[in-house]
């Protein structure tokens, strides 16, 4: 069933301010004469609409008329964009479109600061600040996550919920003047706006809280509006195609399969095609409910990533990202940058509710393996594949009850498992434990004498996490070549 969808606006930083005084000059002008039968309010509305969205400049008394595009030519531009008869006159159909709630971005100019503006990464954080009172908080979170999933499914982008005020995309509900120089206009009209990708306010999305936000066909459906807005926050412009999610006008739209082929081509032009094989959490729940959000919050002390006494239960690389597990909490650092994503593990992997003792990733399979006690899961995307298994299925003897650390050497077929003072070597191709193992850790890795909490292979070195310290180990030289603090791996 169709849902009335007011496609929300995406504000560019260069949107022209409406100047009310010059518009009033239209009252006795030739415009009014040519638009016989139209009310003064209609003419003022049309002039403001054209000024805001089609760079129309009312005729100032200090300049010659021929130096500026005419009112009629701008009406034709607007009619052309919306597929109307290009008469240059404010007919019924033209005024009807002008009175329809729509986006605040100009239709005939680039919305972004620079053509082709986009995020220079594929893992993007978002945070929800001020909420609307129209919906329960958990429902807002669910609808926002589902709207992001629309774009995640069609691209390599992955979105992570953050509770930081420095997330890439900050989502807020506000009214009238709300601190960004682009005030809302009350019920209907402009529903929301978003800024193109960039630092600071770049990528942020604001919803007009004077609207009635719903998860149904009444009022304005937050899921549908947000999906449009996030398109702008990712760098997309408006489309003239009524079937496109990025079409600027309010129209009926089904909640499923929102993206047109044009939308998919455009998001792929910015970020490339969808790559499902990588292990990054993917918001894949059906509208309107999304169990991605758990509503659980962890004490601030646990999330203090710059505590010098911080240690990790397990660490693993996943593509360009590194995942750090502590208790039931998770930090994600992407490509050595300081844009840390963090939250409860089950915010990212909903079926995992346990402390993770060890973890490793096999890129050839696009699969991660997470260990807790004597059980382990195989995870692809954010989904657990099959049932959990006992570690004995990997060839461990019955007396091994827990894996302390695991690391896969990407350039070989081997995974190393550490437990107490011993380690095993597992052949991932043959799926067998090698016969000459276990071996003593301190004998094969001189300098590593403490229990190993976690291990990763990165840039040709093994990195052993021993409590609050990380030992950088040269495999060829068989010695420790550096020591750092664990918390420094979170950019501290």
Is 433 annotated among the ligand-binding residues? no
Is 185 annotated among the ligand-binding residues? yes
Is 357 annotated among the ligand-binding residues? yes
Is 435 annotated among the ligand-binding residues? no
Mind giving me the DSSP string for 45-75?
HHHHHHHHHS------TTS-GGGS--HHHHH
Is 404 annotated among the ligand-binding residues? no
Question: SS3 sequence, 121-139?
Answer: CCEEEEEECCCCCCCCHHH
Catalytic-labelled residue, pool 35, 172, 229, 342 = 229
Is 168 annotated among the ligand-binding residues? yes
In terms of Cβ atoms closer than 10 Å to its own Cβ (0-12, 13-18, 19+), residue 352 is buried
Is 463 annotated among the ligand-binding residues? no
Is 232 annotated among the ligand-binding residues? yes
Is 204 annotated among the ligand-binding residues? yes
Is 208 annotated among the ligand-binding residues? yes
Is 77 annotated among the ligand-binding residues? no
Structural contact between residues 88 and 76, judged by C-beta atoms closer than 8 angstroms: yes
Is 93 annotated among the ligand-binding residues? no
In terms of Cβ atoms closer than 10 Å to its own Cβ (0-12, 13-18, 19+), residue 6 is buried
Is 166 annotated among the ligand-binding residues? no
Which tokens go with 422?
């011993």
State which H helix or E strand residue 23 sits in: helix 20-23
- Phi, psi of 75, rounded to the nearest 5 degrees: -60, -40
Which tokens go with 362?
């096999």
C-alpha atoms less than 13 angstroms from C-alpha of 124 in its C-beta half-sphere:
30
- Which is nearest to 137 in space by CA: 28, 258, 297, 25? 297
What is the rounded distance in angstroms from the CA atom of residue 358 to the CA atom of residue 310? 17
Q: How many CB atoms lie within 10 A of CB 420?
A: 12
Dihedral, 286, 289, 290, 294 alpha carbons, nearest 10: -160
Is 349 annotated among the ligand-binding residues? no
Is 107 annotated among the ligand-binding residues? no
Concerning whether 109 is annotated as a catalytic residue, the answer is no
Q: How many CB atoms lie within 10 A of CB 213?
A: 25
Mind giving me the DSSP string for 391-438?
GGGGT--TT-----EEEE-TTSSEEEEEETTEEEEEETTTTEE-TT--
List the end-to-end C-alpha distance of the chain, in Å, as a whole number: 50
- Give residue 218's Cα distance to chain centre: 27
What is the rounded distance in angstroms from the CA atom of residue 34 to the CA atom of residue 89? 8
Is 309 annotated among the ligand-binding residues? no
Cβ neighbours of residue 253 under 8 Å, at least 6 residues apart?
A: 2, 3, 5, 224, 245
- CA distances (Å), 281 to each of 111, 284, 339, 350, 366, in order? 30, 9, 16, 10, 12
Is 474 annotated among the ligand-binding residues? no
Which tokens go with 44?
């003022």
Is 278 annotated among the ligand-binding residues? no
What is the rounded distance in angstroms from the CA atom of residue 365 to the CA atom of residue 359? 15
- Which is nearest to 125 in space by CA: 235, 180, 204? 204
Phi-psi label, residue 173: left if phi above 0, alpha if psi -120 to 50, beta otherwise: beta
Binding residues for Ca(2+): 134, 168, 185-186, 202, 204, 208-209, 211, 313, 357, 359, 406
Binding residues: 103, 134, 168, 178, 180, 185-186, 193, 202, 204, 206, 208-209, 211, 228, 232, 238, 246, 313, 357, 359, 406
Q: Active-site residues: which are they?
A: 229
Binding residues for Zn(2+): 103, 178, 180, 193, 206, 228, 232, 238, 246
């Amino acid at each position: 069933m169709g849902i009335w969808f007011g496609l929300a606006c995406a504000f560019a930083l260069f949107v022209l301010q409406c100047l009310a005084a010059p518009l009033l000059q239209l009252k006795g002008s030739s415009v009014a004469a040519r638009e016989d039968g139209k009310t003064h309010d209609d003419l003022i509305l049309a002039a403001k609409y054209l000024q805001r969205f089609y760079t129309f400049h009312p005729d100032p008394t200090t300049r010659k008329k021929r130096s500026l595009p005419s009112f009629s030519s701008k009406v034709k531009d607007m009619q052309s964009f919306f597929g109307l008869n290009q008469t240059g006159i404010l007919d019924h159909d033209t005024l009807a479109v002008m009175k329809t709630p729509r986006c605040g971005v100009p239709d005939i100019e680039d919305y972004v600061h620079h053509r082709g503006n986009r995020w220079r990464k594929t893992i993007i954080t978002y945070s929800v600040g001020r909420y609307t009172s129209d919906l329960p908080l958990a429902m807002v979170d669910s609808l926002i996550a589902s709207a992001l999933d629309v774009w995640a499914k069609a691209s390599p982008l992955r979105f992570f919920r953050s509770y930081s005020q420095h997330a890439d995309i900050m989502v807020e509900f506000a009214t009238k003047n709300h601190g960004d120089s682009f005030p809302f206009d009350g019920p209907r009209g402009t529903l929301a706006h978003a800024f193109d990708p960039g630092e600071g306010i770049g990528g942020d999305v604001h919803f007009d809280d004077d609207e009635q936000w719903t998860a149904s066909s009444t009022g304005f459906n937050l899921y549908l509006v947000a999906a449009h807005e996030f398109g702008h926050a990712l760098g997309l412009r408006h489309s003239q195609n009524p079937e496109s999610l990025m079409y600027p006008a309010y129209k009926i739209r089904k909640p499923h399969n929102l993206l047109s082929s044009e939308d998919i081509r455009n998001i792929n032009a910015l970020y490339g095609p969808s790559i499902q094989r990588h292990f990054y959490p993917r918001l894949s729940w059906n509208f309107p409910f999304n169990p991605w959000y758990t509503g659980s919050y962890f004490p601030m002390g646990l999330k203090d990533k710059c505590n010098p006494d911080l240690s990790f239960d397990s660490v693993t690389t996943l593509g360009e990202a590194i995942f750090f597990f502590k208790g039931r909490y998770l930090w994600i650092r992407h490509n050595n940058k300081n844009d840390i994503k963090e939250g409860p593990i089950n915010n990212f992997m909903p079926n995992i509710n346990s402390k993770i003792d060890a973890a490793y990733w096999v890129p050839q399979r696009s699969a991660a393996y997470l260990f807790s006690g004597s059980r382990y899961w195989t995870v692809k995307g954010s989904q657990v594949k099959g049932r959990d298994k006992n570690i004995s299925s990997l060839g461990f003897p019955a007396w091994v009850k827990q894996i302390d650390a695991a690391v896969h050497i990407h350039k070989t077929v081997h995974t190393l498992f550490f437990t107490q003072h011993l380690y095993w070597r597992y052949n991932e191709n043959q799926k067998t434990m090698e016969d000459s193992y276990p071996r003593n850790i301190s004998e094969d890795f001189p300098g590593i004498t403490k229990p190993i909490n976690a291990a990763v292979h990165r840039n040709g070195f093994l990195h052993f996490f021993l409590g609050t310290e990380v030992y950088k180990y040269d495999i060829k030289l068989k010695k420790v070549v550096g020591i750092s603090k664990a918390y420094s791996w979170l950019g501290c």
